[in-house]
Structure 1
Amino acid sequence: MTEAILVTGATGTVGRHVVAALADRDVAGRAGVRDPEAVPRQIADAGEPVEFDFTKPETWGPALADVDGVFLVRPPIVDGSAVGSFAEAAGRVGVDRVAYLSTLGAERNVLIPHHRIEKRVAAADVDYTLLRASFFMQNLLEVHRPDIVERDEVFVPAGSGRTSFVDARDIGEIAAVVLTESGHANRAYDLTGPAALEYGDVAEIFADVLGRPITYPEPSLPAFARRMRRRGKPWAFIALMCGIYTVARLGLAARVTEDGRRLLGRQPRDMRTFVEDHADQFRSENVA
């Protein structure tokens, strides 16, 4: 019987949806955060906030007490070795299973931290599930919303490459499935949306849903970097985003799989559904 699931990155793009999905299953979620006092009420109501920080091992033991499952996500600013060490510590204190949020193609790309973390999670004394996700639709909201709202542009340097966008809400539901149901031990799943789209297609969907022209100007990598820098984004973040979009430019982000449909028992959400669900946040009168 599941006692509790620790959700690392509980206020993040995916973590918040894992907490909500566990609550929907009446499973005790534990929201691992750096500052439990600052957790948004919606998350605190769904899962017990506990102090957790990958860079502070003294927080690991209390966060893992009486936990039998962990949703593991690497914050971009945290070194991958700390994440691997935590997975090993979870195994030592008796955690039964870990679901690690990785990225599509991590098993082949030895240059990215996810590849090394996957190896350490698989070697830890736990049953593991690797969730290799495609590009999150939520990035359009969390990173690119200013361009859509203020300039009526989807401004990303992806060329004509296609991307198999996935909704973070679906990843949250899938994480809850693999952490609370049997049959997922020592497995890896490639998680995408139902279709691969060019960003021109994405712009057309936004235009149709929002009822105003939205364009995709196909910016170059330098033009994208300059705009992000003017917006105050750090160079490390800009480099990460350029790397992601270069993968799309090269045609390496278009693979569509059936793993998500099988785990959800339905088709994953498509881009139109995502834009319709968040339309108010993309309207110009709601500029933050």
Structure 2
Amino acid sequence: MTVLVTGATGRVGRHVLQELNERGVPARAAVHRPAPDTTARAVSFSFTDPRTWREAMRGATSMFVMRPPQISRVKEDMLPALSAAREYGVKRMVLLSLQGADRNPAVPHHTLENWLRASGLEWTFVRAGFFMQNLSTTHAAEIRDLGRIVVPAGGGRTSFVDARDVAAVAVRALTDDTLVREAVTPTGVTALTYTEVAELISTELGAPVSYISSGPLAFWRHRRAQGTPHAETAVMLALYSACRFNLAAGVTHDVRTVLGRDPISFSRFAHDERAAWLPRPHQPFRNQV
């Protein structure tokens, strides 16, 4: 078995790569610009550049598929590469999908799932909920510098999941036959409001972090002021608006069913990621509302 890992430097892909290497499974990191790598063979790969496909795909039997955020037209910009992978001998694809993708034809993951169902390949859909790690990456600066979380989620609940749990489920699907042609939805053990999230981060840091439930226009201006691109801001607005109406609140037992253990708690995530929110040297921790 050789696994081709796309998105190998991303929130989930890097953990997929790490666990495959810890298990001794040959893994190939598909990245735009390979850098020296001590844990896996890195190969140049882009879904939109056919010149990179042969070297990356040849000899791979399984593939972890992550849609790059900048690709929205998956029929034109991803399916040709997936078809090529099948021709090069890939037999199994594990798709990092989205919670509820089967019911939402507007998201690109819906198209990818439909193609995989009809592809003749072995497939597994890992329909992840909201990543806890969004708070230690996308929202890290505002938590660290301003002591606040600004999202238009109202009082809605969100079933956050740790990216490490998602990766562990994906690795099981890549290396075990029990999840072939199955869809799994890994979530945390409970759904949280952003007020509760802010309180948990405050407890970990020993400093106040507040939740600001902004309106759509205020959120747009806030993210644009932080340099978030238009397209990414629009996607964030749509996703957080869904949270407002509890459309991301569903909790499953899939992590326990697949991995035989409880999901990583938000408190443990906050402890492990606390460095992302610590003030920089000589910078006081501010709580601006």
Using structure 1 for the length normalisation, give the TM-score.
0.94
Secondary structure (helix, strand or coil) at the match of 2:103 reads: coil
Paired with 2:267 and 2:150, the residues of 1 have a C-alpha distance of 18
Percent identity over the alignment?
A: 40
Residue in 1 that maps onto 2:74: 80
Q: Which residue of the other structure, out of 17, 30, 33, is the alignment partner of 1:32?
A: 30
Query: Are 1:107 and 1:115, in contact at CA under 8 Å, matched by a contact in 2?
Result: yes
Which amino acid is 1:227 matched to? H
Alpha carbon RMSD of aligned pairs, Å? 1.2
Deviation at 1:93, TM superposition (A): 2.1
Which amino acid is 2:179 matched to? H
Residue in 2 that maps onto 1:167: 162
Query: Are 1:88 and 1:121, in contact at CA under 8 Å, matched by a contact in 2?
Result: no
Q: Which residue of the other structure, out of 179, 201, 210, is the alignment partner of 2:205?
A: 210
Q: Which residue of the other structure, out of 102, 109, 132, is the alignment partner of 1:107?
A: 102
Residue in 2 that maps onto 1:268: 263
User: Given the alignment of the two structures, is residue 66 of structure 1 paired with residue 59 of structure 2, yes or no?
Assistant: yes
Q: Structure 2: 5+ residue runs without aligned partners?
A: 284-289
Residue in 1 that maps onto 2:17: 19
Q: Which stretches of structure 1, 4 residues or longer, exceed 6 Å deviation after superposition? A: none
Which amino acid is 1:15 matched to? G
User: Given the alignment of the two structures, is residue 94 of structure 1 paired with residue 89 of structure 2, yes or no?
Assistant: yes
* Greater shift in the superposed pair: 201-210 or 214-223: 214-223
Secondary structure (helix, strand or coil) at the match of 2:232 reads: helix
Paired with 1:206 and 1:85, the residues of 2 have a C-alpha distance of 43
User: Given the alignment of the two structures, is residue 252 of structure 1 paired with residue 247 of structure 2, yes or no?
Assistant: yes
Deviation at 1:89, TM superposition (A): 2.0
Residue in 1 that maps onto 2:287: none
Q: Which residue of the other structure, out of 214, 217, 221, is the alignment partner of 1:226?
A: 221
Paired with 1:247 and 1:253, the residues of 2 have a C-alpha distance of 7
Residues 190-230 of structure 1: CA distance to partner in whole angstroms, max 9, x if unpaired?
A: 11111100000000001111001111121112111111111
Which amino acid is 2:56 matched to? A
Which amino acid is 1:210 matched to? L
Secondary structure (helix, strand or coil) at the match of 1:162 reads: coil
Paired with 1:157 and 1:47, the residues of 2 have a C-alpha distance of 40
